[in-house]
Amino acid sequence: MSAQRRPDIVVGIDVGQTCSGVAYSIGPDWSEPRTLNRWPSNVGIEKADKVATRVGYTKDTNKQKNWGFESVFADEGVNVREQFKLTLDADYEDDRGFTCHDARQWYLDYLRCLHGEIEKFFDASIPRWRNMHVEYSFSTPTTWKNPAMIASIEELVKSAGFASTSQQSVRMALTEAEAAAIEASTTQYRTNEIFLICDAGGGTTDVNLLKVKSTSNKIELEPLDHVEGVPIGSTLIDFRMAEHIMKRLHLIQDHLDGDIYCLADEMLTGRFQIVKHSFPNPVVDQFWLDVKGLAGSHTFPEAGIKDSRISISRTTLTEIFDQQIGQIFSLIDERLLALQADSPAEQVSYIILSGGLGSSPYLYDQIKKRYQENVGFRSANTSQIQIMKVLEPQLAVVRGLVRERTQRLGTPVAAGPEVFETRRCRNSYGAIVRELYNDSKHRGLPIVQDMHDGRQWVDHVVDWFIKRGQVIKVSEGVRQPYGATISGDQVEQPRRAQIVMSSLPVERLPVLSTDSGCKHVVTVDYKLTNNDMKLKNRQMWRLKKKYWRAEFFFVTIIGPADFRFQIEGKNGVLSSSHESLKVEFVDSSDEPLSATVSPRAWSAQDPFNSPGQTNGRAVRYA
């Protein structure tokens, strides 16, 4: 980052499925992260560490009316939209029938309101802040695996006002598990200790295995596995309980004043949230909730209602919790068993819980029973494991975002160290190339003959230059050699690299880009320079047409949630920086919203061509 773009204020933002947090720090000394905790509501100002992720629209005109705590289901003139974070991903199927396009519009409207509230806070708290450079760092859930989708979300964030002036910039930062791990590392953990962070929130649960490399004066963590996540969270407990309540309310529907769905949803606020957050205490056989829409004192034995209160048995609540916790067990089991297979000598010291669901006493008890007391699970890596919680579980992600960025910024004189000097890739990435025909590998595939050298090639082959779980140095990225044979009239023409991804296991990666399990994610347009090319058949006595042979490196710099690319010549000289390249991500959702957001497109022209053999090493020619 150049000196002109160095932030004066770093703001971390964690938009959750149910609520969202904001933290900030001011340079150049970078104080401890502070959080915003006063939010507008329908009854005034509400003091809370997070604000509800909700947007309200008028029923008659569908115009946005309010947001956050102002949006309440009791307002009959408003449609309240909530829990849309997972639906931002076009690959996620929303059981409610909402589309990705719907969710992105609500997300955009919500972010506009959140940005306005942050600006109001800074106006009242920080003199001359509008003359300072403010950088907004957003967390990303681990379930968002496609960098093209994350790039589209970044455009939405900018359109919401977070990059509305030259003094503001946006950074799609760490995954939620990584950010929570950084916050956890501030609590007396020792060098070389290994921990598994389990960030269980409203909509997703993310896990990551990390080794503590340093905690003195700086935090440095080494990933031992790629981050992994599943769409499991506390909102699914609410959803299952709502289903249970609605089934019973149907039995007395004629006696209720209001829509059963809305009544059940209203019953999940207040008292039920206290019950959920306190469970398994108190130790009682039944919990009682007031039945909304049932005036007076009424008893309906067939629905389990007495004096207009419905009973929820301890067994029912336990079953609903266990449905979600069982899936969290499967996620943790998989990561611990993978570590046992790869590094049997490594000992995991802690499982650390963070997030809203991560603060649940019942989840803590069940995790402790399974992994610390070995009831149902045993591993050579977990013989001395302990279960811990982050000090403030619901703020771990947003605080970690700020800590990571301010550590890296350091002082105006010298930048600080990276928290993660290495990363483990969540997906495999490759370039579409033309590969020299090999009978044992390519038999039965279409063949093309090169007009310059006469050799036979196979198109649409994927050169997997990054494989899932691969360790990559953040500062160096991945350098992959490629080549091109270019006619004289095409020397000045831009060329195009097509990058694909796959989430399949490494041993099952597709051979061709047209195979299942292979998805286009980004195209990179680039131009080669004289530094990269050498003229062939230039002697006058040669009868063949002259052409150019280029050899260069395609460099991919891996960020926590993004990519940067550059082209280097054979001698390592930079030919094209990321800023000079045309990079287009390919997102599944390309419908324009009511903001200036360009849809992502992909073109199949001019792919990377193929590997030949030079001194026994494969070189790809385009």
**E-assigned strands of 231-354?**
286-290, 305-306, 309-313, 348-354
**Is the model's pLDDT at 609 over the cut of 50?**
no
pLDDT band at 369 (very low <50, low <70, confident <90, very high): very high
**Is the model's pLDDT at 384 over the cut of 50?**
yes
Among the CATH numbers 3.20.20.10, 3.30.420.40, 3.40.30.10, 3.40.50.300, which is that of 3-174? 3.30.420.40
**Is the model's pLDDT at 580 over the cut of 70?**
yes
Percentage with pLDDT > 90 across the chain? 64
Instruction: Please report the pLDDT score of residue 300 as a whole number.
Output: 95
Instruction: Please report the pLDDT score of residue 442 as a whole number.
Output: 85
CB burial string 550-576: b at 16+ within 10 A, e below: bbbbbbbbbbbbbbebbbbbeeeeebb
| Half-sphere exposure in the Cβ direction for 595 (13 Å, CA) | 20
Domain spans of the chain?
Answer: 3-174, 234-320, 423-621
Instruction: Please report the pLDDT score of residue 545 as a whole number.
Output: 64
66-94 pLDDT, tens digit per residue, is: 999 999 888 889 999 999 999 999 988 88
Contact predicate 346/194, CB 8 Å: yes
pLDDT band at 486 (very low <50, low <70, confident <90, very high): confident
pLDDT band at 446 (very low <50, low <70, confident <90, very high): confident
Q: What DSSP designation does 300 have?
A: B
394-424 pLDDT, tens digit per residue, is: 999 999 999 999 999 998 888 899 999 999 9
Instruction: Please report the pLDDT score of residue 616 as a whole number.
Output: 27
Q: What is the 3-state secondary structure (H, E, C) of 495-530?
A: EEEEEEEECCCHHHCCCECCCCCCEEEEEEEECCCC
Contact predicate 195/352, CB 8 Å: yes
CA quadruple 150, 461, 480, 341: dihedral sign:
positive
pLDDT band at 540 (very low <50, low <70, confident <90, very high): very low
List the alpha helices (DSSP H) in 137-197. 147-157, 176-184
pLDDT band at 603 (very low <50, low <70, confident <90, very high): very low
**Is the model's pLDDT at 590 over the cut of 60?**
no
Q: What is the mean pLDDT of residues 165-191?
A: 92
Average predicted confidence (pLDDT) for the chain: 87
Residues 6 or more apart whose Cβ sits within 8 Å of residue 8 = 26, 27, 28, 132, 133, 134
Contact predicate 403/183, CB 8 Å: yes
9-55 pLDDT, tens digit per residue, is: 999 999 999 999 999 999 999 999 999 999 999 889 999 999 999 99
Instruction: Please report the pLDDT score of residue 488 as a whole number.
Output: 67
Q: Is 162 left (phi over 0), alpha (psi -120 to 50) or beta?
A: alpha
Q: Which two tokens stand for residue 276?
A: 């959920």
**Is the model's pLDDT at 95 over the cut of 90?**
no
When mean pLDDT is compared across 62-66, 182-186, 257-261, the lowest value belongs to 257-261
545 against 48, higher pLDDT: 48
Q: What DSSP designation does 104 have?
A: H
Q: What is the mean pLDDT of residues 268-286?
A: 92
